Structure 1
Amino acid sequence: MKAFNKEVKIALVAIVGVIILFFGMNFLKGLNIFSSTDDYYIQFHDISGLSASSPIYADGYKVGTVKSVIYDYSGKEDPRVVVGIDRDMRIPIGSTAVIESDMMGNVKVNLLLANNPRERVMPGETILGDVDAGALGKAAQMLPAIENMLPKLDSILSSLNTLLADPALAQSLHNVQTVTENLTVSSAQLNTLMKTLNKGVPTMMAKADGVLDNTNRLTSNLADLDLATTKQQVDQTIANVKLLTDRLNSNEGTLGKLMNDPTMYNNMNSTMRSADSLLIDLRQHPKRYVHFSVFGKKDK
Structure 2
Amino acid sequence: MYITTEKGKYTNQSIKVKLTRKPMKIAKEIKIGLFAVVMIGALVWGLNFLKGRQLFQSARVYYGVYQRIDGLQETAPVFLNGYRVGTVEKISLRDQQPTSLLVQFSLDKEVNLPVETIAQIYSSDLMGSKAIRLVPSLLPNILHPGDTLITSIEGDLKEQVSLQVLPLKKKAEDLMADMQEAIEMIKLIFNEKSRKNLEMSISNIKLTMDNLESATGTIDTILRNQQGKVERIIINAESISSNLKNKNAQLSNIINNFSAISDTLAKTSFSSTITETNNALRSFNGVISKISNGEGSLGLLIKNDSLYNNLDSAAKHLDLLLKDINKNPKRYVNFSVFGKKDSK
**Structure 2 length normalisation: TM-score?**
0.42
Q: Which has the higher contact order (CA 8 A, sep 6+)?
A: 1
Greater gyration radius: 2
